[in-house]
Structure 1
Amino acid sequence: MIAVARLATAIGLAGLVPFIFGALAIILWPAAEALCVKLFYIYSAGVLAFMAGVYWPIALQLEQRCFPLSPIWTLVISQLFFLTAGLALLLPLAAQTVVYPLAYLILYIVDVRWMRLYWPGWYRRLRMVLTLVACLCQILAAVWLLAAPAVSA
């Protein structure tokens, strides 16, 4: 299990690199701001959809083990976050700057409330760090974008 924890931690932390560099690129590379914004939010959508996908195998386990959590609601929640991730890309930039960090925080709250039983302690701590850094990067980018002149993203 230690090998899995280490690998998952390494992969999770590596997944923060595009958030960190994306937010910095939006701020520090004005010539490519529009491209950086698009890539940043496409990556945000992809990660949110990926994280929502965690609920599918959990729903299957819930159904097989007769846990009190509803497998139907687990799948519905997964789909709501997946759809939010993809459809938010169609929204104006100002809306995206709010939707993505909010969706990440809500998904984390749902994760903590519903999935305490299924994840080891190291993963819950890792998710907290990953969510915090991803949201801070999104908020930093949002503050910059909303304070700066209009970007055509």
Structure 2
Amino acid sequence: MRGVPRAPLVLALAGLIPFIWGGLTSLNGDLQDWGRQELGSRFVGPYIQLFYGSVILSFMSGVLWGFATKTSGSKAATCYVLSVLPALWAFFMTGGGPVESGINLMYGFAGLLVLDAIFAYWRLTPTWWLRLRVLLTAIVLICLAVGVYL
């Protein structure tokens, strides 16, 4: 990840831990049992992915909002509207069961990547932003797919 400052890279990669943990505990029954016993059932399998994924989509709305402050006029209004979409998506689309919610989170993260690309195209993000977001989104989607499809 050349060009990505160390602090954002390390924090972003650390932010993948709940998604990866959820995927691992979905695949390994012994690990899931241990996690359920030590951490609680909310912190294993797809459940940690769903809760944390909703939190992260909401967090990313705030990040996009911050990028929107770099512009003005009608473009700013457009950016502010676009920035709240991930949080609204998480709020309205993750209330079903774990499979439906997981699929909706996958769509939410894919949509977020589209928004990241738009904001990058408008030069509102750091130059390294989209490279980092593509990597993170790919890993998140793989982990969510494990929780949904396996």
Q: TM-score, normalised by structure 1?
A: 0.79
Aligned to 1:93: 98
Say whether residues 1:61 and 2:67 are aligned partners: no
Aligned to 1:147: none
Instruction: Spell out the pairing of 1:1-150 with structure 2 (5 A cutoff).
Output: 5-29=5-29, 31=33, 32=36, 35=42, 36=44, 37-63=46-72, 70-116=75-121, 117-144=123-150
Residue-pair matches, total: 139
| Fraction of identical pairs, as percent | 25
Letter in 2 for 1:51: M
Q: TM-score, normalised by structure 2?
A: 0.80
Partner Cα distance (2:135, 2:69) in 1: 27
Letter in 1 for 2:149: V
For residue 34 of structure 1, report the CA deviation from its aligned partner: 5.6
Q: Secondary structure at the match of 1:41?
A: helix
Instruction: Give per-residue Cα distances to partners, 1:35-78, cap 9 Å, x unaligned.
Output: 32322200011111111211222222212xx5xx6222212222
Partner Cα distance (1:113, 1:17) in 2: 27
Unaligned runs of 5+ in 2: none
